Structure 1
Amino acid sequence: MATYKKRGYKPKTKAEKEEQLEDGSATAEVFNTLDEGASKTEAWVEKNQKYILIVVGAIAVCVLGYLGYQQFVQNPKSAEAMNEMYRAQSYFEQAVAAEESDSLYNLALNGGAGKYGFLDIIDNYGSTPAGNLANYYAGMAYLNTNNYQAAIDYLDAFKSDDDMLAPLAKGAIGDAFIQLGQNDEALSYYKEAANMRDNEVTTPRFLLKAGVTALNLGKTGEAVGYFETITEEYSDAIEAADAKVYLGKAQAMQ
């Protein structure tokens, strides 16, 4: 076992001198190994310096290109898209309030007075937030003009984390499937819409639709669960009164 020796200690015996020589040799060997490793690394770097610089340069170009794209292309394009969509949104809002609304929805979709409609916004600015939002508007416009498959396609393309728009889009797909007579698909989307967010507006709304659809599909027990959830957890929602009526009907059918 090695013993601790003070700094400056001089070996007195032959054994100690041999030990000191061995320690010195081992230390020298370690440093020689490190030196050899460093030399090999330096040689490798020197040999491959051209390729290293190319890789580093490529990474730098990608990063700078991305930052430049965001600042000088994407951000201005997003602002331009929002400005272009103003007239289409105006037509859509007029259509919602009007009794004869098909022509206004068509203007919202296809544009008018030399301005873009939602379809143009999607085609020209699809990668921007405005382009994404245009998918929602286009889907709702198609839903309200009875073009249900187109409504499904555009609403499905819309992506959002918004507490209202996300479940509204998902539930509207359910509405389109109902109109197409595909109740099983509609029920799936209503359930997804109800579970996406927990609030007093969209949750009871789509729970009620899920309950009615389940009842029509003969899934009475499932329907009872939806109606009970509304009456117990969302008693202040406007859907609560209808849910209570449907609950009584569903329980009588069990």
Structure 2
Amino acid sequence: MSVLDVIQAPTAVQPLAASGEGGEFVAPGPGSFELPPWAEVAGFGLTKSMLLIVLSAVIIIGFTYAASRKSAVVPGRLQFAGEAVYGFVRNTLARDNIGSEHFMKFVPYLFSLFLFILVNNYYGIIPFLQFPTFSRIGYIVPLALIAWFTYIGVGMWKHGVLGYFKHATMPGGVKGPILILLVPLEFFSNILVRPVTLTLRLFGNMFAGHLLLILFATGGAALLSSGNLLYGAVGILSFGLGIGVSFLEALVMFLQAYVFTLLTSMYIGEALADEH
């Protein structure tokens, strides 16, 4: 009998957290992310994810203020941490991808974007919070649209409206009838698809990772409460796997903040480049 068979057995497992009718274990799914509102403000339900978004802004503003409030030649630990994150975004993401001429204009935006995604991702493994905000796609769409408007606007500023569309859809050195095929493909790839892929990449990783953590936690609790020694042993294994997945998620959360910011800086750099 596999672990999945054990979890799905209706008579063998009595759950602690996730349960359906008759005491059957119900595997987590999209409904697990539909959190009930904590309170109502002006007729709108105030949910946990809304509060976490606001909290992330408070954390980032507080961190950057505290890190820069008492700047010194020999930095303290907080100043060192702030300078390390800023230097990473400034040098690795902005300057390397946008170029030395224009990159400083975009460092504040990219720095804020990286920290905002990072903090909201790491909520998923912080005890008592344990909910990555960006497992809800509605919070990612505005970030992707801001990135889209930024690199489209920058490209039009650099090349002009028609010049930018020519720059984005006509590869340099390519001429002739092949452009009939390439131009629509390049327009679709460089103009339309990019905000979609930015959104889905971040959402998919945060959603799937948190779903795994819920599964290992609730499945392990259900197995431990079954009263069967064999199932209890599998439940302990489930909790152990959940801890391992948490460490993996910590890496994925950082990488997703990095990739989203990296791609945004690359798109800006491409929009400012002289040739496509």
TM-score of the superposed pair, with normalisation by structure 2 = 0.20
TM-score of the superposed pair, with normalisation by structure 1 = 0.21
